[in-house]
């Protein structure tokens, strides 16, 4: 896993609530679920970590415990195609779970535009503000 993916995992963990439940940590892509929010760590070029596509992510997400309480899916990406991936993901989710999808937000956050220090670590206070504004 590359440095960007590791930084995005840190950010996803930071975004998640204190009682966050991690799912599929040993899988090819990152997925964090807790208190109604699912964070998907991705590249944004139509792929997530491990080259899974939106269909695979949607399938994994629907099998996650607590999925029925998820109201927001956040795709954390380091690529300009994050919006496209988020759109595809929302489409697949609406196919798999007809009742769930209409009331759910799928948000793409571009990791590269978030404030960071010289080492590339995201500055947590700003990340918190970003999170609270969602």
Tokens coding 95: 């196919």
Domain assignment present for residue 45? The answer is: yes
For residues 83 and 89, give the distance between their C-alpha atoms in angstroms, rounded to a whole number.
Answer: 10
Per-residue pLDDT band at 94 (split at 50, 70, 90): confident
Residue, of 117 and 134, whose pLDDT is higher: 117
Over residues 10-46, the pLDDT tens digits come to: 555 555 444 344 443 334 445 555 556 676 765 544 4
Residue 123's domain comprises 38-127
Domain assignment present for residue 72? The answer is: yes
Over residues 18-27, the pLDDT tens digits come to: 434 444 333 4
Report pTM: 0.54
pLDDT at 96 (0 to 100): 72
For residues 14 and 60, give the distance between their C-alpha atoms in angstroms, rounded to a whole number.
Answer: 22
Query: How does DSSP classify residue 122?
Result: B
Residue, of 19 and 98, whose pLDDT is higher: 98
Per-residue pLDDT band at 114 (split at 50, 70, 90): low
Domain assignment present for residue 19? The answer is: no
Domain assignment present for residue 6? The answer is: no
For residues 45 and 1, give the distance between their C-alpha atoms in angstroms, rounded to a whole number.
Answer: 16
Domain assignment present for residue 107? The answer is: yes
Domain assignment present for residue 28? The answer is: no
* pLDDT for 133 beyond 60: no
Domain count, the chain: 1
pLDDT at 27 (0 to 100): 42
């Amino acid at each position: 896993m590359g440095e960007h993916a590791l930084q995005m995992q840190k950010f996803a963990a930071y975004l998640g609530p204190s009682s966050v439940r991690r799912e599929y940590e040993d899988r090819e892509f990152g997925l964090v679920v807790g208190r109604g929010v699912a964070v998907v760590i991705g590249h944004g070029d139509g792929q997530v970590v491990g080259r899974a596509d939106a269909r695979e992510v949607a399938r994994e997400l629907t099998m996650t415990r607590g999925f029925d309480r998820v109201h927001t899916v956040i795709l954390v990406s380091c690529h300009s195609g994050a919006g496209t991936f988020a759109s595809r993901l929302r489409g697949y989710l609406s196919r798999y779970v007809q009742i769930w999808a209409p009331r759910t937000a799928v948000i793409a956050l571009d990791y590269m535009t978030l404030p960071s220090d010289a080492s590339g670590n995201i500055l947590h206070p700003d990340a918190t503000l970003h999170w609270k504004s969602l």
